[in-house]
Amino acid sequence: MNPDHRLPLHDWHASHGASFTNWMGWELPESYDGASQEEYGELQSGCALIDMSHAVRLRLEGGSAARFLNEMLTLDVTTIRTNCSAYGFLCNERGGIEEGFLVYRDEKYYLLVGSSPRRRDVLELLDDQLEARSEWDLELTNVTASQGEILLRGPGAKALLEGLFLDQALPPDPGKGTVVAQGTSRVLVLKAPYGLGGGYFLVAGIANLEETWDRLYRAGKSASMRPVGLTARRVLRIETGMAAAASEWDGRATPFEVGEESRVDFYKPKFLGKRALLHSSTDEFSRRLVLMRFEPGFQPKPGMEVNSVGTPVGKLTSTAHSPAWGAPVALGFVHWVKSPPGTMLQAEDEAGRQSTAEIVSPKVLSATTKSSARRC
């Protein structure tokens, strides 16, 4: 393992039993004391503490900030009210997803909270767009290194935060944000919008990140909260059918192909990739991201082909053993004709074992539903 970057709290993770893995150039906790199964359970029924400081964070200021973001992202930024957030994609001119951003609107600036560490690619794309608008009133700052990010997820997250910040009001609705005091420092608390798996994002200055993390950890120990690594998160992500950077977001996959068409606002006059996406409802973009369940003992791997009556119809992108199904599962792109749940495909692993690949509906967490969603 030769990662380019380590988390600001790397030493804390190492001293608390973390084993590490290299993900997109970052050395991230894979699990703690090998307890990935317990961490998986905590994500769903308890309270999970997750270090997200590797994800790109950008701050945009100036009188032209909203106009610029509206021309870059798939969501309509003008509908985001102050102290609220919404989620959308930054696409390239081909309509492929480059990054997903949680966009928070402060009174003076916009904060873009990314999903992955692809800051170089994202910044290069945005810098090119900024250069073409040099006369606009804009200032883009990469604050990834000066801020840290924590995700608190699970049914117990709200009670833990309420006990920690006592009389300070927390965000009441999904997408809402508020700034709370922690000693002499301030922490931005964002309640995740619908469709992001629930929980709370906490953004703190790097000088106060460890204090914030320690307070959460100590307060949560009595409630059986535990830090959670990449393995448990990946399993739950696959079970719920959520695409991710480096696996499904490869610069080619469009929001339509990964099932996120609701995050694209075609009523806007323009945004990066709009022209290409207008054609993505035709056969030009014929792939769909699906969840597949395999027979017990089979070993699916990313890149493996799936077939229909001997004809290749797709490839796997992310794989895991699913506690929910008690079997191997995988995300993968298949031709849309073969994408409905219940479709039976076939695959063969490296050992020559064959298995059916049944397309199944993703597991639904109550916090991920988009129905009856109120706009912040």
Q: Tell me how many degrees the CA angle 89-375-56 measures, rounded to the nearest 5.
A: 30
CATH architecture of 57-142: 2-Layer Sandwich (3.30)
Q: Which residue has the tokens 């129905």?
A: 371
pLDDT of 46 reads 87
pLDDT of 120 reads 77
pLDDT of 166 reads 67
pLDDT of 284 reads 55
Note down pLDDT in tens along the chain; length 376 residues: 566 789 999 999 999 999 999 998 899 999 999 999 999 998 888 899 999 999 999 999 999 999 999 999 999 999 999 999 999 999 999 999 999 999 999 999 999 999 877 767 888 999 999 999 999 999 999 999 999 999 999 888 888 888 888 677 888 888 999 998 877 788 999 998 876 677 899 999 999 999 999 999 998 887 778 999 999 999 999 999 999 888 998 888 999 999 999 999 999 999 999 999 987 655 556 889 999 999 999 999 999 999 999 999 999 999 999 999 999 999 999 999 999 999 999 999 888 899 999 999 998 654 444 433 345 6
pLDDT of 222 reads 72
pLDDT of 372 reads 34
In the CATH hierarchy, which top-level class contains the domain 5-55+146-236? alpha beta
pLDDT of 3 reads 67
Of 134, 129, 151, 135, nearest in space to 57 by CA: 151
For the chain, give the number of residues. Answer: 376
pLDDT of 368 reads 43
Q: Is-above-0.85 flag for pTM?
A: yes
Instruction: Return d(Cα 370, Cα 372) in angstroms, integer.
Output: 6
Residues 6+ apart with CB under 8 A from 305: 312, 314, 315, 347
Instruction: Return d(Cα 306, Cα 312) in angstroms, integer.
Output: 6
Instruction: Return d(Cα 102, Cα 91) in angstroms, integer.
Output: 14
Instruction: Return d(Cα 276, Cα 312) in angstroms, integer.
Output: 26
What CATH number is given for 286-361 in this structure? 2.40.30.110
What are the sequence ranges of the domains in the chain? 5-55+146-236, 57-142, 286-361
- By the 10 Å C-beta count (0-12 exposed, 13-18 middle, 19+ buried), 341 is classed as exposed
pLDDT of 226 reads 92
How, if at all, do strands 97-105 and 48-51 pair? unpaired
Residues 6+ apart with CB under 8 A from 345: 292, 306, 307, 308, 313, 314, 334, 338, 356, 357, 358, 359
Instruction: Tell me the CA distances in angstroms from 364 to 46, 195, 233, 238, 239, one per residue in order.
Output: 17, 10, 15, 11, 9
